[in-house]
Amino acid sequence: MHILLNIVECCSEKPTKKIQRIDKWSPPLANSLYFNIDGSVMGSLGPAGIGGVLCDNMGKILFVFSSHAGVQYVILAELLAILRACELFGSRQELALRPLTVISDSKIAVGWVLGCLSGNNSHNQVIEDIRSWLGSFSSALVEFRSRSSNSFADTLEKKGLSSGVEDLWWSV
């Protein structure tokens, strides 16, 4: 199970894998899928939006979502975007068998999910729910990528921020 491997690598004294910055979007390996997600908040605590886009190794968009996420702090909006992506991915059995990488532009959210970062964390239940979903997939990773490689998801979360409903679009 890849998520456990990443937690061990990330948390060891001399990690072999670090949270790295990647600036350009590139497609996943053959048969794998990328779920780029984003969350944002107006102000430090305010109305929140989440969004995501699922792509295959050819760059084909398989699924898009955007949603209003209530009033949140930005880190919780990022975590809720990861959780919603996992829930939606898991709802499609034919997809859940393929290797998945969830990509976020929040180092803190990725670090918390992987167990690399700790602190005063009031979002443990959301993090545990994310880990549970990731553990239920055949292969799942969570990675940090820079905002510039996550621009479509950024547009979707802004749409969710201005909308009162969840928009879902499947092409598969």
21-68 residue pLDDT tens: 555 667 778 889 999 998 888 888 999 989 998 999 998 989 888 888
In the predicted model, is pLDDT for residue 75 greater than 50?
A: yes
- Considering the domain 32-170, what is its CATH architecture? 2-Layer Sandwich (3.30)
- Give the whole-number percent of the chain exceeding pLDDT 90: 38
Closest CA to 17 of 142, 160, 156, 168: 142
- Give the whole-number percent of the chain exceeding pLDDT 70: 71
What is the pLDDT, as a whole number, of residue 165? 64
Does residue 45 or residue 154 have the better pLDDT? 45
What is the pLDDT, as a whole number, of residue 127? 94
Q: Please state, in angstroms and rounded to a whole number, the distance separating the CA atoms of residues 79 and 141.
A: 15
- Residue 79: Cβ-neighbour burial (10 angstroms; 0-12, 13-18, 19+): buried
Q: Please state, in angstroms and rounded to a whole number, the distance separating the CA atoms of residues 26 and 5.
A: 23
Give the CB-side neighbour count of residue 167, counting CA atoms within 13 A. Answer: 16
Contact 66, 156 (CB under 8 A): yes
Question: Buried b / exposed e across 95-109, counting CB within 10 Å, b at 16+?
Answer: bbebbbbbbbbbbbb
Q: What's the rounded mean pLDDT across residues 122-148?
A: 90
pTM: 0.80
Sequence spans of domains, the chain: 32-170
What is the pLDDT, as a whole number, of residue 104? 93
Q: What's the rounded mean pLDDT across residues 132-151?
A: 84
Strand partners, 124: none
**pLDDT classification of 100: cutoffs 50, 70, 90:** very high
What is the pLDDT, as a whole number, of residue 3? 44
The lowest-confidence range among 25-29, 95-99, 103-107, 112-116 is 25-29
